[in-house]
Amino acid sequence: MAPLLSVEGVRKSYWRGPHETVVLANVSLQVRAGEFFAVWGQRGSGKTTLAMIAAGIGAPEQGRVLFEGVDLAGRRRGHLPEGISWVRRGGELSGDFRTVLDSVAVPLLGTHSPRAARRLAGGMLKRLGVADCAQERWEDLTDGERTLVAVARALVRGPRLLVADDPTASLNVLQREEIMGLLRRAADEEDLGILVTVPDMPDMAYAHRVGSLSDGHLTVSGRPPEARGKVIEFPDQQSA
Amino acid sequence: MSAKHAVLGLVIERPGYGYQLAQRLEERCAFWRWESSGVYGALDQLERESHVWADRTKTTASSGAGRRGPRVIYSATQRGRDFFAEWVLGASPPKPARQELDLKMLLAGGEFLPELIEQTWVQEQQCVNELQTLRSGTPASLIDATRMSWSEGAVILQRNAEIKQLQTRIEWLQEARQVMRVLLERDVGRGRR
């Protein structure tokens, strides 16, 4: 089975004055459909950089990122590729929305009527157990609710790959278990590919594969889940 | 630590026969990786110490066909319950990490720095692999955190304790590597190597 996401030999560095800091030296990873892949690293290890590059939001200096076999290079930056959803640190949402329901419905407005978008958004909030928050304002939510709403907003687009950067920031252990368990179910039941960065290793417990990021290198362990009878062929198979 | 206290705790929770207890021990304390054969040794010892009572007269429903004798059902005595409570209430000193690699670092001269740096990578990979083993001990049915029982919560806490120890080790290895690399580069700069 071809990977859904293939990050190949990615390099990225930042300049602070005359000093170059190599954040990602040569990082490769693959995420398959239905696979939950978690990356841990200390603060400043490059987790966010890696997540942004994997989601197609950032560009690598070297190497390439293939989503469903298609190189993400050359795409318009700052816009998520079709099929990829992104959850940023702590589930922060941008934009000013009247209600939580509207904030979740927004990603659907390009393809759905406002009424249909709100209906789907309401269904997703219900599925994640936060239907009660639908009419509240974002500012009034607890950290746990915010994260669930952000995940709802990412899932409502029906992505094939979800990239989440530190989604469990500022949550307590039970809330973190809940979010990670929920993501694992989405991988298992809906064949969603998931790449998550975490600051705390116990959060990796539900992942199929885990990686530790340090000194610009990723140390990986584990096996991807067995393909569930579905053979996926992508146009570009060079990565396999 | 022996499996004695764990087996006694399970017997107090619910009487059972050896094989059942070994299975329950595996479910509840998977991360401790006790041999199931250790359960029988622990039960013998607990019986000798009168912490459990072995009933050899009962026959369980499933033990009829093909079994020669009745199953031995173990239940806790009052003495056993008191012994267990005493253990629960007693202090639990933390166990300091003393690893071979740390000792090598303490004793090896600067000429070994490149090899020691390499060893931090090897051990980091081992830790990440170990993490994988720990995670496979996680209950297969994912727990709904909002509805979990205390015993399910305790399993998660135990798993987290094991994983956090690994995390601390990995963080330390990364730190150690950083320090060794800085010292190595400095020595190379001074032409000592």
Q: Which of A15-24, A145-154, A221-230, B127-136 has the lowest mean pLDDT?
A: A221-230
Query: What is the pLDDT at residue B73?
Result: 94
Query: What is the pLDDT at residue A131?
Result: 92
Residue A18 has pLDDT above 90, yes or no: no
B4-89: what CATH class?
mainly alpha
Sheet holding A19-31, edge to edge: A19-31, A5-16, A62-67, A70-71
Query: What is the pLDDT at residue B193?
Result: 57
pLDDT tens for each residue of B73-130: 999 999 999 999 898 888 877 766 678 888 888 888 888 899 999 999 999 999 988 8
Question: What is the average per-residue pLDDT within A163-186?
Answer: 88
Query: What is the pLDDT at residue A168?
Result: 87
Query: What is the pLDDT at residue B66?
Result: 53
C-beta atoms of A202 and B163 within 8 A? yes
The answer to whether the CB of A187 falls within 8 A of the CB of A193 is: yes
The answer to whether the CB of B177 falls within 8 A of the CB of A215 is: yes
Query: What is the pLDDT at residue A238?
Result: 42
Q: Which residues of B touch A210 (CB under 8 A)?
A: 128, 131-132, 135
* Structural domains of chain A ordered from first start: 1-83+162-240 (3.40.50.300), 93-158 (no CATH)
The Cα–Cα gap between A8 and A197 comes to 18
The Cα–Cα gap between B21 and B38 comes to 11
φ and ψ of B121, to 5 deg: -65, -45
Helix (H, G, I), strand (E, B) or coil at A95: coil
Query: What is the pLDDT at residue B89?
Result: 86
Query: What is the pLDDT at residue B140?
Result: 44
Spacing of C-alpha A116 from chain mean position: 25
Whole-structure pTM value: 0.79
Question: What is the average per-residue pLDDT within A169-186?
Answer: 87
Residue A71 has pLDDT above 50, yes or no: yes
- Tokens 């530790």 belong to which residue? A212
pLDDT tens for each residue of A200-222: 898 888 899 999 999 899 999 87
Q: Where are the domains of chain B?
A: 4-89, 100-189
Query: What is the pLDDT at residue A76?
Result: 66
C-beta atoms of A173 and B170 within 8 A? no
Query: What is the pLDDT at residue A68?
Result: 94
Q: Which residues of B touch A42 (CB under 8 A)?
A: 171, 174
The answer to whether the CB of A153 falls within 8 A of the CB of A93 is: yes
The Cα–Cα gap between B145 and B156 comes to 10
The answer to whether the CB of B12 falls within 8 A of the CB of B48 is: no
Mean of the per-residue pLDDT values of chain A: 87
CB atoms within 10 A of CB A48: 18
- Tokens 């040569």 belong to which residue? A26
Among the partner residues A175, A202, A222, nearest to B132 by beta-carbon distance: A222
User: pLDDT band at residue A230, thresholds of 50, 70 and 90?
Assistant: very low
pLDDT tens for each residue of A80-129: 888 999 998 866 776 667 889 999 998 898 889 999 999 999 999 998 88
Relative to beta strand A70-71, strand A62-67 is antiparallel
**Alpha-carbon distances of B178 from A21, A210, A219, rounded to whole Å:** 14, 23, 16
The Cα–Cα gap between A179 and A58 comes to 25
Query: What is the pLDDT at residue A206?
Result: 87
Q: Which of A62-71, A187-196, A200-209 has the lowest mean pLDDT?
A: A200-209
Q: How far is B9 from chain A (nearest CA, A)?
A: 25
Higher-pLDDT residue of A231, B78: B78
